Amino acid sequence: MKAVTVAPGTAASLRLQDVPEPDASHGSVVVETLAVGICGTDVEIADGGYGWAPPGRDRLVLGHESLGRVVDPGPSDLVAGEHVVGIVRRPDPVPCPHCAVGEWDMCSNGGYTERGIKGVDGFMSERWRVEPDYAVRVDKDLGILGVLLEPTTVVTKAWEHIAAIGLRAFWDPRTVLIVGAGPIGLLAALVAAQHDADVHVLDRVSSGRKPDLVQRLGGTYHTGTMADLGLAPDELVHGAMEAVAPAGVVCLTGVGSASTPGTPSQAMPATDVVLKNAVVLGSVNANRRHYHRAARILAAADRAWLDQLITRQVRPDEAAQAVRRAPDDIKAVVRFADT
Ligand SMILES: [Zn+2]
């Protein structure tokens, strides 16, 4: 079968090639790929800056934002024809206390693996296998939009953790400010809107579909300030700490690009954190619970709105184009088959 592979650590190594059928060790459920989304992590892997091939191999099948159709459910309770998404992370084999209770997104020893990222083949192949427990059903009516499930899990988890921290004190959140209107930012705006928050999104782009997408959620779109959204994470944290209300929570879901050379890094504003009783947290990945919640969020969302998030669809032989970002891209998707 055909697969899009990379040699982790080597830039511009991405290619479409013939690979063996998916290994039975990956699970008893056989899935036909419909689409695979591209995110910043894929771009970084394709640039040689991240990623690990499976043990004993040089190349890794790319892709962790999956959507597929069950071909052979094996002994699972899935049904052929259902649409599923594969969970990305697998618990470490020890396991650590987090992985032992299914919270592998919080793995404390770093021994986890991730499909398409760390030590296990991803989903950017014509077929893939998955363990029944790691296949999440998605509403078939979503069609191609089911490929947005995995990025939605990232914001679902972040929202859950923010709410958990909020409960340390009187918690009646009103205003949510999201910095950056990429796919994660816009999906975060969707989640916040579904929780009846007053949603504000800040991005450097002033035209195109991003302002409209935020307004259609009932939110307010802003441009400029917050160090004009310089990609240096330190500056963003500093700006967020200045802007956050007392008892507020600042959640970082991405580390952005490296600081612009020559940009002085600002110290963590400890005074703001202390005097505002504020919390800064980081959030990455998701566990099974977040996939199920994310599936509900997508099912409840306006399909026409979700449809606007997918700005580009390419064929597998054009995958190298999908990892080169166009300025007005929101989400690029490699399309394998019709839904
Ligand atoms: Zn672990």
**Interval 105-115: pLDDT, tens:** 999 999 999 99
Q: What is the mean pLDDT of residues 120-139?
A: 98
- pLDDT score of 237: 73
Dist. CA 324 → ligand 1 center (Å)? 33
List the Cα angle 231/236/242 in 5-degree steps: 160
How high does pLDDT run on average in the chain?
92
Dist. CA 288 → ligand 1 center (Å)? 14
- pLDDT score of 268: 58
Q: What is the mean pLDDT of residues 283-297?
A: 97
- pLDDT score of 227: 60
- pLDDT score of 261: 43
What Å distances lie between residue 264 and 27, 31, 252, 255, 261, CA to CA? 49, 49, 20, 17, 8
Dist. CA 135 → ligand 1 center (Å)? 20
What three-state secondary structure class fits 318? helix
Dist. CA 102 → ligand 1 center (Å)? 9
Sign for the pseudo-dihedral over CA of 259, 203, 88, 29: negative
Location of structure tokens 């970084």: 44
Dist. CA 68 → ligand 1 center (Å)? 27
Dist. CA 252 → ligand 1 center (Å)? 21
- Reading the block at residue 139, the tokens are 């509403």
Residue 258 has pLDDT above 80, yes or no: no
CA pair distance 45, 8, nearest whole angstrom: 6
Q: What is the mean pLDDT of residues 220-227?
A: 80
CA pair distance 334, 38, nearest whole angstrom: 8
Q: What is the mean pLDDT of residues 31-50?
A: 96
| Counts of helices then strands in the chain (DSSP H, E) | 10, 18
Q: What is the mean pLDDT of residues 113-118?
A: 98
Residue 35 amino acid letter: A
Dist. CA 106 → ligand 1 center (Å)? 7
Cβ atoms of 253 and 283 within 8 Å: the answer is yes
Cβ atoms of 334 and 314 within 8 Å: the answer is yes
Dist. CA 52 → ligand 1 center (Å)? 17
What kind and span of H or E run contains 31? strand 29-38
Predicted confidence band of residue 312 (pLDDT cuts 50, 70, 90): very high
Q: What is the mean pLDDT of residues 163-171?
A: 93
Torsion of CA 143, 337, 156, 182, to 10 degrees: -100
Provide the percentage of residues in the chain whose pLDDT is more than 90.
79
Dist. CA 279 → ligand 1 center (Å)? 24
CA pair distance 70, 81, nearest whole angstrom: 5
Dist. CA 101 → ligand 1 center (Å)? 9
* 310 or 247, greater pLDDT: 310
Residue 212 has pLDDT above 90, yes or no: yes
CA pair distance 314, 322, nearest whole angstrom: 7
Query: How many other CB atoms are there within 10 angstroms of residue 140's CB atom?
Result: 12
Q: What is the mean pLDDT of residues 268-282?
A: 85
CB pairs under 8 A, 24+ apart, for 47-51? Answer: 47/11, 47/323, 48/8, 48/9, 48/10, 48/11, 48/12, 48/13, 49/11, 50/8, 50/117, 51/6, 51/8, 51/9, 51/117, 51/118
- pLDDT score of 2: 98
Residue 231 has pLDDT above 70, yes or no: no
Dist. CA 28 → ligand 1 center (Å)? 23
| 61-70, 79-88, 260-269: least confident range | 260-269
Predicted confidence band of residue 85 (pLDDT cuts 50, 70, 90): very high
Residue 287 has pLDDT above 60, yes or no: yes
Provide the percentage of residues in the chain whose pLDDT is more than 70.
93
